[in-house]
Amino acid sequence: MKLRWQILIIFGCLVIVQLVLVLVAFLIDWPIIHVIGEEISVAVFDFWSMGHLLLGIAVFIFVFTIYFILKNRDVPPENVSIHTVKIPAPKKMFISWIISVIAAILWEVLENTLLLYLEWKNKFDSPLNAISDIILWSIGGLGAWYITHLTFVSKQYILGYYFYGIITLLVGVYYVVLFI
């Protein structure tokens, strides 16, 4: 099975888990979407959900870019082209995604312990919200992995990788400036 399909299968599984969370919230009469007021950090999707998705993309891009630079540090700058760089193994992209997922879990722990203790946050995330945040972060990283994979497999879309990285960064900055 090609890696592209494996990525899409993982994506499908994460979407199914997210839909199960929505169904559970519906069945127990829990808020599903809420962006203002007391229900933030309680609802499955809240004000910060898009930020978690974007962070998944950003963390994957950061981790993978560091790996890619280290792997290709022996290629002289004047010879850098899609034909001279070492194409990353699918396993390395998977490890970059796993690191992104671990970062999501660590963030949720940090957010609901230290930030609460420092009073930078008012209340704990509900279990449904915390799980949803981790899934959204994972889906963002998975999307970045998929586009990165397509970029290196096709070899002609290498600039697309950097383009979507810059666009993601700009959307993230816009999101922060607009909503904070």
Q: How much is the pLDDT for 79?
A: 64
* Residue 67 and residue 85 in contact, taking contact as beta carbons nearer than 8 Å: no
Q: How much is the pLDDT for 121?
A: 77
Tens-digit pLDDT profile for residues 50-85? 889 888 988 998 899 888 888 877 777 666 665 666
- Residues sharing a CB contact under 8 Å with residue 22, sequence separation 6 or more, in sequence order: 32, 44
Q: Which residue has the tokens 């209340």?
A: 123
Give the C-alpha separation, 10 to 101, whole Å: 13
Give the C-alpha separation, 40 to 43, whole Å: 6
Going through 10-153 in order, the beta strands assigned E by DSSP cover 33-34, 45-46
CA 138 to each of CA 10, 30, 52: distance values in angstroms, whole numbers, following the listed order: 10, 23, 9
* Residue 67 and residue 100 in contact, taking contact as beta carbons nearer than 8 Å: no
Tell which residue, 49, 85, 101, has the closest CA to residue 161.
85
Tens-digit pLDDT profile for residues 3-22? 777 888 898 999 999 999 99
Give the C-alpha separation, 31 to 21, whole Å: 11
Tell me how far apart the 2 most distant CA atoms of the chain are, in Å: 61
Write the DSSP string, 18-39. Answer: HHHHHHHHHHTT--SEE-SSTT
The ranges assigned to domains in the chain are 3-31+51-179
**What pTM was estimated for this model as a whole?**
0.81
pLDDT at residue 27 greater than cutoff 80: yes
Tens-digit pLDDT profile for residues 103-154? 999 999 998 898 888 887 778 888 899 999 999 999 999 988 888 877 776 6
Q: How far is Cα of residue 149 from the mean position of the Cα atoms in its chain?
A: 15
Can you read off the two tokens belonging to residue 180? 């904070």
Q: Which residue has the tokens 């586009």?
A: 147
pLDDT at residue 157 greater than cutoff 70: no
